[in-house]
Amino acid sequence: MSSYASRAGSLARMSDDAAPPGGRGRRPARTSGDDRELAILATAERLLEERPLGAISVDDLARGAGISRPTFYFYFPSKDAVLLTLLDRVVAEADAAMDAVFDGSVVEPRQGWQRALAAYHDTFRTHRALTVAWAEARAGSAEVRRLWAEVVERWVQRCTAVIEAERDRGAAPGGPAARDLAIALTSMNERVIYGSLSGDGPAVAADDVVPVLLRIWLSAVYGDEPG
């Protein structure tokens, strides 16, 4: 747990930010109980490595953090809220990675897309357990669905803008609405990466994920309608 606490410096202090109306965490601000909150998050991350979300109870999280179940509810309103907090961190990481790619120097397009896909893939691959758990939580929690929808919406808007820019400068031919293309391709990324991490059903091997996705993105964006 202390290993988590040290890494956790970068954990967004969301619950402390200005106005937390119906926010995830509970307590208004600083006190010694921060340790407990961190311990809960660390326990969640640890337990998710060994078993699926559905097999982890609030009691497991509480005991793992050295507190009783009612006390858990002092820190988080539900099990999902813990996951949401953990997820925010990964999403922030993914966004940062994307920023690094889409920013500044636009090298050749192929390389740009390749880096973006790799950044996306790497971020989620290094948080395999969390990524798989999120997919499970999404099925049952409207809150999780909402957060994910927001995240995807940002990516889609970004891709849409890039595709339109490429079309404007004549590098990419016309075709379906750029946004629809972006949605479909982003959806593909999500499902393919999840499949390769979760291991159920037919999956692309980890090393082949980016090459295959890249090929499909490039031909979809830059390829002419084939006869």
Partner DNA sequence: CGAACGAGTCAACAGGGTGTCGAGTTACGC
Partner DNA sequence: GCGTAACTCGACACCCTGTTGACTCGTTCG
* Neighbouring C-beta atoms of residue 84, cutoff 10 Å: 22
Q: Which x/- pattern, by CB under 8 A, does the window 53-72 give for its own copies?
A: -x------------------
The residue (of 31 and 157) whose beta carbon lies closer to DNA is 31
Q: Which of DNA, its own copies, none lies near 153, with the C-beta cut-off 5 to 8 A by kind?
A: its own copies
Long-range interactions of 177-181: CB distance < 8 A, separation 24+: 181/220, 181/221
Stretch near its own copies under the rule CB under 8 A, chosen from 28-36, 60-68, 83-91, 140-148: 140-148
Helix residue ranges, H only, the chain: 2-7, 34-50, 58-64, 69-75, 79-102, 109-125, 128-140, 142-168, 178-198, 206-222
CA angle 43, 49, 54 (to 5 degrees): 80
Q: CB 63 → its own copies: shortest distance, Å?
A: 23
* Neighbouring C-beta atoms of residue 137, cutoff 10 Å: 22
Nearest one of 121, 217, 118, 204 to 166, comparing CA atoms: 217
Q: Which of its own copies, DNA, none lies near 95, with the C-beta cut-off 5 to 8 A by kind?
A: none
Contact 72, 65 (CB under 8 A): yes
Can you tell me which of 116, 119, 130, 192 binds its own copies, judged by CB under 8 A? Answer: 192
Q: Which of DNA, its own copies, none lies near 86, with the C-beta cut-off 5 to 8 A by kind?
A: none
Q: According to the binding rule CB under 7 A, does residue 70 interact with DNA?
A: yes
Say how many residues make up the chain.
227
Q: According to the binding rule CB under 7 A, does residue 33 interact with DNA?
A: yes
Q: According to the binding rule CB under 7 A, does residue 73 interact with DNA?
A: yes
Contact 173, 224 (CB under 8 A): yes
Stretch near its own copies under the rule CB under 8 A, chosen from 39-47, 99-107, 123-131, 211-219: 211-219
For residue 170, what are the CA distances in angstroms to 104, 131, 157, 218, 222?
A: 21, 37, 20, 15, 10
Q: Count residues binding its own copies (CB under 8 A).
A: 51
DSSP 32: T
Q: According to the binding rule CB under 8 A, does residue 188 interact with its own copies?
A: yes
Stretch near DNA under the rule CB under 7 A, chosen from 27-35, 88-96, 145-153, 215-223: 27-35
Nearest one of 175, 195, 184 to 155, comparing CA atoms: 184
Residue ranges in contact with its own copies by CB under 8 A: 54, 135-140, 145-146, 148-149, 152-153, 156, 175-177, 179-181, 183-188, 190-192, 195, 200-205, 208, 211-213, 215-216, 218-220, 222-227
Residue ranges in contact with DNA by CB under 7 A: 27-28, 31-34, 36, 57-59, 67-71, 73-74, 77-79
